[in-house]
Amino acid sequence: MKVLIIGGAGYIGSHVTKAMALAGHEVTVFDNLSSGLLVNLLPAAAFIAGDIRHADDISAAFSRGFDACVHLAAFKAVGESMVEPEKYSVNNLSGTINILNAASASGCRKIVFSSSAAVFGSPEYVPIDEDHPKNPESYYGFTKLEIERILAWYDSIRGIKFAALRYFNAAGYDPSGDIVGLERNPQNLLPIVMEVAMGWRKELQIFGNDYDTRDGTCLRDYVHVSDLADAHVNALAYLEREGKSLAVNLGSEKGVTVTEMVEAARRVTGRDIPARYTGRRAGDASSLIPTSALARSLIGWNPRLSDVDTLIKSTWDVYRTYRTPTERA
């Protein structure tokens, strides 16, 4: 299929682009490079520079004729979304509407959407299944949930079939080393641990050690980005085969605490990684663990790389090639 990958120069998008190309699709990346990186653009993909906030940019791209699109172009900083909601409204919400209108006008009837565990808010029970109540606790999470609802309307009115993929904690890097871009100003645990291991930060702050978990630090489900990328390929095949929309949770079903992640990172990297317990970070849930049974049964998805050692080693293998964080930005 001819597939347009919107946000394909970003961290997850570049892995999705690689997986789609390997699956035999003809891929084109659309990205404004606001957080995406030129170094992430793969030779197998054509590139269109453009911005989803500009309806003309995205319409021009769709007019080239695509059978399907993957939409990963979003701001994703939970804390920032509570300070600057306007930014999230314009990019995540209006930008997606621009995409759907352009897809609709051009006859593109399949979309794979990067949703998030943030649609659920604090869990009322674990593991979280797809029917778990959806009460996002950030404006970012709200935009993802709202887009899922808009997708459902475009399905029923325009016949656009969607796959909403709710990622839990994405981590890791392409194990064959084809993708080496480092996110600018990372906010997530593993990139921060790597920056401490590299000596770019003095220490890791562990946000809270009084949670109701096995060692008091937060429990998360880390899933390898290449496993997530495979889910996009499988989801697109499902849309083609079944002609039905779906929303699934994507996690490894292996809970790891912050302390366990740091200890594993010390072992795998051989570095000290100084860490200090500090107070809780506002908005952090104690445990965020999904069941991915539905993804297994509907799209045949089985993560292969999401064990802690592979997550850390594949990330470390990229970081250790840098002298400074911005060297290849």
Binding site for ligand UD1 (CB under 6 A): 76, 78, 116-118, 138, 169, 187-189, 192, 204-207, 218, 220, 258, 281, 284-285
Q: Is 286 exposed, middle or buried (0-12, 13-18, 19+ CB in 10 A)?
A: middle
Q: How far is the CB of 107 from ligand UD1 (least distance, A)?
A: 32
Q: How far is the CB of 26 from ligand UD1 (least distance, A)?
A: 29
What is the closest distance, in whole angstroms, from the C-beta atom of residue 311 to ligand UD1 in the complex?
12
Residue nearest to ligand UD1 (CB): 218
Alpha carbons 45 and 9: distance in angstroms, whole number: 10
Q: Which is nearer to ligand UD1, 2 or 201 (CB)?
A: 201
Handedness of CA 146, 152, 157, 159 (dihedral sign): positive
Question: Which residues are part of the catalytic machinery?
Answer: 140
Q: Which is nearer to ligand UD1, 116 or 315 (CB)?
A: 116
User: Which residue lies nearer to ligand UD1 by CB, 45 or 112?
Assistant: 112
User: To the nearest whole angstrom, how small is the minimum distance from the Cβ of residue 6 to ligand UD1?
Assistant: 18
Between 204 and 294, CB nearer to ligand UD1: 204
